Amino acid sequence: MNPLRRVSGTIVLLCALLGVTRAQEPAAAGAETPPADAAQAEALANAALSAPADAAAPPAAKIVPQERLNALDLFFAGGILMYPITLVSIVVLACTIERGLARRRRRVAPRRLLKELRELTHAPGGLDPRLAYRMCEAKPNSASRVVRAALLKVGHPSSEIRMAVQDTLQREANRLYRGVRPITLAITVAPLLGLLGTVQGMIMAFFVTSVSPAGVNKSQSLAEGIYTALVTTFAGLCVAIPAAVIAHWFEGRIQNLLGDVEEFVDSLLPELERFEGKVRVGKREPPTAAHAEPPRVAPETVVPRRRRAATPE
The model's pLDDT over 124-165, given as tens digits with 9 standing for 90+, comes to 777 888 888 888 888 888 888 999 998 888 888 888 888 999
pLDDT of residue 218: 78
The model's pLDDT over 155-201, given as tens digits with 9 standing for 90+, comes to 888 888 889 999 999 998 898 888 889 999 999 999 999 999 999 98
- 293 compared with 153, residue with greater pLDDT: 153
Whether 97 is in a domain gets the answer: yes
Whether 155 is in a domain gets the answer: yes
pLDDT greater than 60 at residue 35: no
pLDDT of residue 295: 43
Whether 188 is in a domain gets the answer: yes
Whether 298 is in a domain gets the answer: no
Whether 310 is in a domain gets the answer: no
What pTM value is reported for the model?
0.61
CA distances, 64 to each of 60, 61, 67, 148 (Å)? 12, 9, 9, 70
pLDDT greater than 90 at residue 70: no
The model's pLDDT over 219-261, given as tens digits with 9 standing for 90+, comes to 887 888 888 889 999 999 999 999 999 999 999 988 898 888 8
Domain range enclosing 106? 71-281
Whether 221 is in a domain gets the answer: yes
Whether 261 is in a domain gets the answer: yes
Whether 15 is in a domain gets the answer: no
pLDDT of residue 232: 92
Our count of domains for the chain comes to 1
